[in-house]
Structure 1
Amino acid sequence: MFSGTHRRIVCMWFPRLASDRVLRRDPSEAPFVIAARAGSTELIHCLNTAAERAGLHRGMRMADARSFCPDLISRPADPRRDARFQRSLRRWAERFCPWVGVEDTDGLVLDITGSAHLWGGEAAMLTDMRTRLERAHLSVRLAAASTRGAAWALAHFGGIEEALFALPVAALRLAPETVTALQRLGLGSIGELATSPRAPLARRFGPDLLLRLDQALGAQPEPVTPEVEPPQFSVRLSLPEPIGLEADVMAATERLLSSLCAKLAAQEMGARQLCLTLRRVDQASQQVELRLAAPMREPARILPLFQRGVSEVDAGFGIDQIRLEATQVEHSPVQQMGNQANRPEQLADLITRIGTRIGLENIQRFLPADSHIPERSFLIAPAAFSEPQSGFHAARPRPIRLFTPEPILAAGPTPPERFRWRRMDLTTERATGPERIAPEWWLPDEAWRRGLRDYWKIDTCEGRRLWLFYTPQNPGWFVQGEFA
């Protein structure tokens, strides 16, 4: 029935991966579900056993679930954290064999060929897997078979390997619409499908159906491909004698930076965050963290930025080990050197130097926004985490200073000849305008719900150049800005 019986594949299926991940951190015996949004509808994505006993199931609408179970506890789905948790389980499973791959979004596949004897046999290995996972409060279903497809089928649908033909066709990892079409043809089990003429099946369902069948029966190979671990950008230096002088620590840091930057350059990556760990002879450690305004991998640019943090380190009786790690990296392709007089990295170096003192988030830049409302025509974003943009344009000049509108005493729709503002008596010399701006009705801005504004540029005899506006629907004059 099967070929290649020397291979042994184990499938780990975690039917409650998402809910188990949350409940391990915040245990609860009450009905619990993970809710995911599909369009405008919220559906159950994963649930615990208590929720199943209450009559809930995957794909059920959350509104119906709450009517069935008023004490239901729910959390929103987080696919990124689920994927990260699945990858951590994959790394854990490497204790059993080196060939471990990810299966769908809730499973693992292990090629244990030649490894089972290290655990006292296949049965003992599976028992150890199940015991450890249950101890970690994870629901798991395990199965071992000669092929990957058979192991998946047995883990998801139960049974023994010799009775694979009795399992439903859904055990072949087929699309739901394919399973429904096969059942309508009277092909409900793998055995019925395997004994049917292949040519009509291939014409109707394409090659994928027969490929899945052959993979489960061992007629087509399906290797287990382990994921490639991402490169670790860290270097360490153990010192034969403890050091404590700032110059010595900086010299060791320079040596580590050269090795680390070479690794970054080989992968075309740049560091955005670095952590320098200094271990003292008393086993206490101190860290110097450095956040960069742009991806960097040039030792000469990075080394001076560590000076301030290293100078504050208490070396105690000496430092005997130094570790440098790039805790956050970004893709930074190799670029051709251009005009040295206009290098963008000079601005990044300046932002980084200032950011080490006041925080990168506190160095901000203005970005254009698509709005004709003066207060909404720009955005403020951290300079280290945004790119400069052009596009600041308006039909008429805008003042360099904007402030909350300040009322002045004036009457009529034309600019006043004389007015008092901020305890100053001002005389209008020239008035340019009006520029009528209508409110954006779709935005909940109380200040602009009063209606239209007619803006005027006022040059005063006293030298002030102000931006005034008049509200015709509720007559009044206001000063909102000042030109240079």
Structure 2
Amino acid sequence: MRWACILFTQLALDGALRSRTDQEQPLVLVAGPAQHRVIRAANPAARQLGLKPGQTLLAAQTLTSGFAVAEYDQQQIDQWQHFLAAWGYRFSSHVSLDYPRALLMEVESSLSLFGPWPQFEQRLRHELKELGFQHRIVLAPNPAAARVLTNVHDSFAVAEAGLREQIECLPISRCGLDTDSVSALSRMGLRQVKQLLVLPRDTLAKRFPKRVLPHLDTLLGHQPLALGSYQPADEFEARIEFNFEIQTHQALLFPVRRLVTDLNAFLAGRDCGVQQFMLGLEHRSQAVTPLPIGLLTPERDTQLLFDVVRSRLEQLQLPAPVLALRLSAQNLPAFVPQPQTLFDERPQQSQPWEQLRERLRARLGDRAIQGLVAVADHRPECSWRADVTGGGAGLHDSRPRPGWLLTEPQPLGDLLPEILAGPERIESGWWDAGDLRRDYYLVRTRDGRRAWVWQTVDGSGPFMLQGWFA
């Protein structure tokens, strides 16, 4: 087996930066009581001002100004890690969150689908860059080795044959041991793992903490490591809070796109789509403004979802400045991709019908675009209905039916049309006072058109035109 470890080098900071339009602004994350706020993370712009983790907020404000401050929220960090696990679930059936701020994925069974590892790695990096998370990636024969190697490597892959050599080169302080064990080994003058491995095993077991020897065996693959398996949630919910009030629709578009991108990553991981979801606009002193979004069919295209939300948002009159956005989706039906041809013959300036349809509904209203769905009734007049929800299912009928049905049947006019097929007898409607008994025929008229006509069962009366075939 081969395991990929993705280490998120600044997960808390990336999570805070994703909701900000100006990501170059100096930003620090602080934690601790109000009397002693301490900087836990700082972006590069803040470091250039002399700010660094471990510094008190009071000292930082004395040193300089012009930097933003956000809360270092451990619960928010855990939520981001679960979101990234949902993203990784699309690439592997075994994703683990057992290590903090890291994602472990079994990728041996995924290479046949996503290509050789260099190609697969580039795809992971590209998507993580789009999501806005900095990272390091290492491939190793076991998950423990993959995790510790990310401490000193990036874009690194090691095979079983070279694993021991790479583990030996690790500093003891970076090999995954706890602080007490590292301190005990350091007092003995041991700096690298290879110095440990040359010692007798019984000496290691007696003189050092009990966890050292099993940990080394796990790194070398001599002892298996049992990992938990992530299971994706059945619902999606994400929230972006602003550090100032937003009063215009235009300023909301950037965080809306972030939320829709996150929704797309979640849906791709669960291999499902979304047909209904809710965007909530939170205010300071008023109730949440709900903005329900409904689609005709399940979708998960980022651009399509964003266009629909933007159109609905532009029609909404903001009752008050917005302090936060929350997007939630509870019903996640299966997603069936639209069939496509090998060569796209569509002009570049046009757009797919699904995207055009949802744009029209968002701009003109839900009831402005209607479709037709079949109804389980043999009578032609009752076999269809207009539909605006997109929830109707078509009924399969192998018998020929015209594409154009007349509102009311009318005499055909041809005295003796050429009969191509029939009769097909339809007797129905006795339960709703709409009883009919007719024999239907497929005929060709004198001018070559094909029509669907009927006569009464006893053969009396003229042929009545019901519809035309294309």
The alignment's TM-score, normalised by the length of structure 2, stands at 0.46
Higher relative contact order (CA 8 A, sep 6+): 2
The alignment's TM-score, normalised by the length of structure 1, stands at 0.45
